[in-house]
Amino acid sequence: MSRPPSPVPADHPIPARLEALRQAMRRHGVDACIVPSSDPHLSEYLPPRWQGREWLSGFTGSVGTFIATQDFAGVWTDGRYWTQAEDELAGSGIELMKISSGASTQYIDWLAATLQPGQVIAVDGGVLGLAIARQLRQALDARGVALRTDLDLLDEVWTGRPGLPDAPVYEHQPPHAATARADKLIALRAAMAQHGAERHLISTLDDIAYLFNLRGADVSYNPIFVSHAVVTPERATLFVADDKVPEAVRAALAADGVDVAPYAGLAAALAELAPNVTLLLDPRRVTHGTRQAVPHHVTVVEAINPTTFAKSRKTEEEAAHVRATMEQDGAALCEFFAWLEEALARRAEEALDEVAIDRHITAARARRPGFVSPSFGTIAGFRSNGAIMHYRATPAHCARIEGDGLLLIDSGGQYVGGTTDITRVVPVGAITVEHRRDFTLVLKGMMALSATRFPRGTRAPMLDAIARAPIWAAGIDFGHGTGHGVGYFLNVHEGPQSISPSAMPEPHTAMEPGMITSIEPGIYRPGKWGIRIENLVLNVPAEATEFGDFLAFETLTLCPIDTRCIDRTLLRADEIAWLNDYHATVLRRLRPHVQGAALAWLEERTTPL
């Protein structure tokens, strides 16, 4: 059951915003309004213009759906955000609606059960995913409830709503852009031909950035830019806001047959498609509003974007750049952890809190060549904060690191040669037998999956249980997926593969050579501590037998795992050997990049068990 809303303070800004929304709903004869965490590109991290769910509710988590009626308001989100949502929604008059996973559409069932025949629901079709729109309409039609997707009520009530982002677009240059834009377009057109399509619509921002070897800064953490693209057998058009593409970049694009058009021009371009044209689009990666702009006379083929497959399978050249990036990232982490241990040693003289962790780890990465930005907001959680899966410390809400306990640090960097994501847990002061037991169980799960071999084409969700098995054996589980795909100087969360029990083992989730995926099991004890250990791995060929081609994981992440947290009696000989081999590799690869205190820390933390 969700917690009932707290009393509303007189100076809370959210009730006034809710009332303005409800007035707009009454003006338009709307009984319920949905505001998803989404933009016209179905992005994970949203430009400010489309952070309407946060503006209306005050909940800042990256996943959640807001719904308001005249007498109710709620945010639906999953277990990763429950504690955060309870804190941020307190006093707003908005109820937390707990769901089982981030992919859940339980709010659709709630709407179908709550609204009466003849009532009307409004949602901005421009930010509503096509697949979700179809589910929503099917459920509401069965109840006789009308769905309007032509209203952006948020735009009516959001005073001072931000405009489109204006950061410039730039080229991802060789050698890190290892495949030329022209060659990517050739490969895409070949895939289009296999689908019998003369046009292809792309709205997902990382697909567009990958295809055109362009990068931007329109959202936090991911180096992408707001745009759409349409590709034909002869040319391609990039729909992007005016003045975002410098003349030199325009010229380079033109040389490869790519035209630049205004961002708002996509709908008109789709409306002009001829009756004999076949258009390829991905129903999971376009919005309902974008799909509505396609004329009925156009033949539409629905299939996953070919670029989604292509960008997930890193080339040998890209993998080499990622390995080099991991050495730089690992060296930065050595410098950071050496600083951290020194800071912990002098705690009596200098206050240390979770915000300082974020600041210092980002500064260490920023000193490394090729660094661009963090790849997501650093999670630094001490003691009970480590049990909040997507915790984010702020100056107004953070814990001092004092006394005894575990400190969980999940962080990553965007480099021109790759994207990193790593979680480590370190002891602060004295830790308990229970701490070590949980830590070792998580480590066993991470090592079990890291050492797995599997047939090429195995559906990624099927691998999830391998990491959970040692944790399940102790009667414990964790409430998130074991692994997500990772981009190449692109989104830190990338498909199509997902090692997760909530993901369907569909054909497009097949594991193929070149994919980079995280392995990150955990144990979380609310109010006590959280433990997660995360490495990134690369799918590489293992062997070919009469049963087919097998793949293995090459561990890419280079950073010691703190052996002070291990209960050695819980480890088998082969597990100890795996960890010692990993630490020997970390020491060999990172030693040339560090010196002084960082080198001393590296050598101490890679001492064999």
Domains, in order of start, for the chain: 14-157 (3.40.350.10), 170-311 (3.40.350.10), 313-605 (3.90.230.10)
Q: Tell me the average pLDDT of the chain.
A: 93
| The pairing of beta strand 65-69 with beta strand 73-78 | antiparallel
Q: Name the maximum alpha-carbon separation found in the chain.
A: 75
Overall pTM surpassing 0.85 (yes/no): yes
10-residue stretch averages of pLDDT, the chain, 609 residues long: 43 87 96 94 92 92 90 87 83 87 76 93 94 92 93 92 94 96 98 97 98 95 97 97 94 97 96 94 95 95 96 97 98 97 75 90 97 95 91 86 95 98 97 98 98 97 98 95 97 95 90 98 96 98 96 98 97 98 98 97 97
Task: Tell me the per-residue pLDDT of 382-401, one tens digit each, with 9 for 90 and over.
Answer: 999 999 888 888 888 889 99
Is residue 301 helix, strand or coil? strand
- Exposure string of 154-174, with b = 16+ CB inside 10 Å and e = fewer, is bebbbeebeeebeeebbbbee
Distance CA 454, CA 552 (A): 7
Task: Tell me the per-residue pLDDT of 147-204, one tens digit each, with 9 for 90 and over.
Answer: 999 999 999 999 999 999 999 999 999 999 999 999 999 999 999 999 999 999 999 9
- Exposure string of 41-80, with b = 16+ CB inside 10 Å and e = fewer, is bbbbbbbbbbbbbbbbbbbbbbbbbbbbbeeebbbbbbbb
Report the Cα 267 to chain-centroid distance in Å.
28
Distance CA 508, CA 459 (A): 8
pLDDT of residue 9: 52
| Tokens, residue 112 | 């179908």
